[in-house]
Amino acid sequence: MNDADAMTPSAGFYSIEQIQTHVVLCFIHIPSFVAFFLPDVDVAAFRRQRQALIDHRGPLSRFFTEGDMKRVNGFKVLKKQVEWMAGKAAVKILAHSLGLGTESDSRIVAEPGGAPYLADHPAVSVSISHSGDYAAAAIGSAGHRVALDIERIEQGRMQNIVRVAFSDREIANLEGRSDEDHYLAWTAKEAFLKYIRRGFAEGLKKVEILNGTIIHHGRVVSDICTHSRIFDSNYALTLMHGKSGESFP
């Protein structure tokens, strides 16, 4: 997806990108999602609003059941409601496009550690991330693991993250480099932690990203493909996926 695609999603709010024959991405532009499905909500102010009671019989029934809406309506702020729905909708759009179920019937459940997967296709790997104006989901074909992280680039914020999350070698490697480079390293670190199903329990400095190379507990990780880039000028993205797997039909 190039910058133009990011700003003008297909179908009004989303776009799909195939990375390889076994990995696909869906991006949802969250303000467009709000305008499309919640026309009574002020798009410019939804992040500051309290919870909205969303009717399961409305336009969002395209994706969500009455049970889903009960969960959504349990969140206390609209921002959290919208981010949850946008991420899940991205998975459902991909599942439908790949012949893995309809948008409304594709059930997304979570492993004990929190990683999402399709209830009817547990061998199909799923990853979700959101930041700022975007939610994104990745799906890998059966036997092919995926992990995704996106972050909005905020000037000055990375200085605080570096101190607690990056090793001395990473800090030295990134010295003098741009915020974009720092964010790409940060999204790679987060994507790898998702990939190994450990999250922050693993310890951030036990994973090092040095010029695109992943080092885990001091050993180079060589069996994961990494796709990192800046999109929409102000967002960093890293997708990690295994090297083997069946392609989609």
What are 134-185's pLDDT values in tens digits? Answer: 999 999 987 889 999 999 999 888 888 898 999 999 999 999 999 999 999 9
Q: What average pLDDT does this structure show over 2-9?
A: 38
Lowest mean pLDDT among 110-114, 125-129, 224-228: 110-114
Whether 244 shows a pLDDT value over 80: the answer reads: no
CATH 3.90.470.20: which residues of the chain? Answer: 3-144
Residue 3: pLDDT over 90: no
Q: How confident is the model at residue 4 (pLDDT cuts 50, 70, 90)?
A: very low
> How would residue 200 be classed by pLDDT, with cut points 50, 70 and 90?
low
pLDDT at 246 over 70: no
pLDDT band at 59 (very low <50, low <70, confident <90, very high): very high
pTM of the full structure: 0.90
Q: Read off the pLDDT of residues 14-58 as tens digits, 9 standing for 90 and up.
A: 999 998 888 999 999 999 999 999 999 999 999 999 999 999 899
In this prediction, residue 111 carries a pLDDT of 86
- At 11 the pLDDT is 60
Q: What is the 3-state secondary structure (H, E, C) of the chain?
A: CCHHHHHCCECCCEEEEEEECCEEEEEEEHHHHHHHHCCCCCCCCHHHCECCCCCCCCHHHHCCCHHHHHHHCCCCEHHHHHHHHHHHHHHHHHHHHCCCCCCCCCCEEECCCCCEEECCEEEEEEEEEEECCEEEEEEECCCCCEEEEEEECCCCCHHHHHHHHCCHHHHHHHCCCCHHHHHHHHHHHHHHHHHCCCHHHHCHHHEEEECCEEEECCEEECCEEEEEEEECCCEEEEEEEECCCCCCC
What is the pLDDT, as a whole number, of residue 243? 61
Under CATH, which architecture does the 3-144 domain have?
A: Alpha-Beta Complex (3.90)
